[in-house]
């Protein structure tokens, strides 16, 4: 048995320490980044925030709004070839601002080929709950052989050694980091497995950047301040599920309760997701996701602008003229309380 005694921290355990700054306005902060990749020959420029590939966030309607802000939507796995054909009859898709999601079922690789060819996709996201399986690395290798020029994302993991394995042997460009931090995830309760997300980001970013690759911080953000902390900790991209849930563009069912409106939001490994997409939960598995009701939030545009405003403000507090420089300017202070909750309901 081994026990790591070094403190492992989550977003709520820290605050960003303010520093002297010459920036006089949030409008001076540049949120766009230019990216190159270790294996793909492609480049990318945009705002590195991604809508998660869940049913109610990884939709065409969410893409239509996020792409205007040069943000990425990771389409849910359940959009098939016909879904994309129908979409392209009505509207085009900009390859810079969407990802095609896939699992590691090799019988589906021909379907992936068809979708990538049809959409001219630039990004492929190989998405599994447990990125530590040897099968994931092997599948990543095959996808790289099939798509040598594409930007390949894979995960999820939460430690240095697996980040390095996916980049070096899996030939992945971007590693998705987060085991169990999501608001609709029950992995930590069901399995006892995980790493506090802030510490996971710091460790995994250090590993990826040493190899010229990048990470996506996936899960655990509850507010714009958490998004800023993720970038400050070294994340190159931040993926949001719960923060982008509850909007009109997610196409979720609106439920009324006690005079308030809610939209159902559920994890990809939840019982409802398994029933909807796989005909039910296999008897050798337990549900590692849950269903929650998120307060109805209206248009996603307002949430996007709120997140942007928070990140820009974070940059001005530490003297970072651009999002790229935020991690270089960030010092975290460990805290026992983030804010005064006296009048919070």
DSSP string covering 221-259, please?
--SHHHHHHHHHTT-SEEEESGGG-SBGGGTPPEEEETT
* pLDDT confidence of residue 266: 61
Three-state SS at 149:
coil
Question: Around Cβ 15, how many Cβ atoms within 10 Å?
Answer: 17
Neighbours of 228 (CB within 10 A): 27
Asked about 185 being catalytic, the answer comes back as yes
As a whole number, the mean pLDDT across the chain is 92
- The tens place of each residue's pLDDT in the chain, 345 residues long, gives 899 999 999 999 999 999 999 999 999 999 999 999 999 999 999 999 999 999 889 999 999 999 999 999 999 998 999 999 999 999 999 999 999 999 999 888 889 999 999 999 999 999 999 999 999 999 999 999 999 999 999 999 999 999 999 999 999 999 999 999 987 788 888 899 999 999 999 999 999 999 999 999 999 999 999 999 999 999 999 999 999 999 999 887 788 888 888 887 765 554 454 455 445 445 545 545 567 788 899 999 999 999 999 999 999 999 999 999 999 999 999 999 988 888 876
* DSSP symbol at 247: B
Instruction: Give kind and range of the element (H or E) at residue 34.
Output: strand 33-35
Tell me what pLDDT residue 270 has.
Answer: 47
- The CA-based angle 239-243-248, given to 5 degrees, is 115
Q: Nearest 5°: phi and psi at 337?
A: -150, 135
- The answer to whether residues 101 and 77 touch, using CB atoms and an 8 Å cutoff, is yes
Q: What pLDDT, on the 0 to 100 scale, is given for residue 273? A: 47
Which residues are within 8 A (CB) of 285 and not within 5 positions of it... i.e. 6 or more apart? Answer: none
Angle (CA) 266 271 274, round 5°: 95
Among 125, 185, 204, 315, which one carries the catalytic annotation?
185
Kindly state which CATH superfamily the domain 15-333 is placed in.
Aldolase class I (3.20.20.70)
Domain boundaries, the chain: 15-333
Kindly state the DSSP code that residue 177 receives in the 8-state scheme: E
Chain centre distance of CA 140: 19
Both tokens assigned to 103: 């699992």
CB 99 within 8 A of CB 53: yes
Per DSSP bridges, beta strands 14-16 and 214-218 are: unpaired
Predicted local confidence at residue 286, as pLDDT: 52
The residues, any chain, with a CB within 8 Å of residue 120's CB and separated by 6 or more, are 95
pTM summary value: 0.92
Q: What are residue 327's phi and psi, to 5 degrees?
A: -65, -35
β strands within 171-290, DSSP E: 174-177, 214-218, 237-240, 254-257, 260-266
pLDDT in tens, 10-54: 999 999 999 999 999 999 999 999 999 999 999 999 999 999 999
Is residue 180 helix, strand or coil?
A: coil
- pLDDT at 165 (0 to 100): 98
pLDDT for res 264: 78
Which CA distances in Å does 256 have to 259, 261, 279, 293? 6, 5, 28, 10
């Amino acid at each position: 048995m081994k026990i790591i005694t070094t403190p492992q921290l989550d977003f709520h355990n820290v605050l960003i320490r303010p520093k002297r700054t010459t920036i006089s306005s949030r409008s001076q902060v540049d949120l766009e980044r230019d990216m190159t990749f270790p294996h793909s020959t492609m480049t990318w420029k945009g705002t590195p925030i991604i809508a998660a590939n869940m049913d109610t966030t990884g939709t065409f309607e969410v893409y239509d709004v996020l792409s205007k802000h040069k943000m990425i939507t990771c389409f849910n796995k359940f959009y098939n070839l016909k879904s994309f054909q129908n979409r392209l009859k009505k509207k085009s898709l900009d390859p810079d601002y969407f990802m095609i999601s896939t699992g590691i079922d090799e019988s589906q690789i021909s379907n992936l080929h068809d979708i990538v060819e049809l959409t001219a996709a630039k990004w492929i996201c190989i998405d599994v709950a447990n990125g530590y399986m040897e099968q994931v690395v092997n599948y990543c290798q095959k996808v790289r052989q099939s798509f040598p020029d594409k930007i390949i994302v894979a995960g999820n993991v939460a430690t240095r050694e697996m980040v390095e394995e996916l980049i070096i042997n899996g030939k992945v460009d971007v590693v998705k980091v987060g085991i169990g931090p999501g608001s609709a995830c029950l992995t930590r309760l069901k399995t006892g497995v995980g790493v506090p997300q802030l510490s996971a980001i710091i460790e995994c970013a250090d590993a990826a950047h040493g190899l010229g690759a990048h990470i996506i911080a996936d899960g655990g953000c509850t507010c714009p301040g958490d998004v800023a902390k993720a970038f400050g900790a070294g994340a190159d991209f931040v993926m949001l599920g719960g923060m982008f849930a509850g909007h009109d563009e997610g196409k979720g069912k609106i439920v009324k309760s006690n005079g308030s409106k809610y939209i159902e939001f559920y994890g990809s490994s939840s019982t409802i997701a398994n029933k909807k997409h796989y005909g039910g939960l296999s008897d050798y598995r337990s549900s590692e996701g849950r269903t929650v009701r998120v307060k109805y939030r209206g248009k996603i545009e307002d949430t996007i602008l709120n997140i942007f405003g928070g990140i820009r403000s974070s940059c001005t507090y530490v003297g970072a003229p651009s999002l790229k420089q935020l991690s270089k300017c960030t010092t975290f202070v460990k805290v026992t309380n983030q804010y005064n909750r006296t009048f919070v309901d």
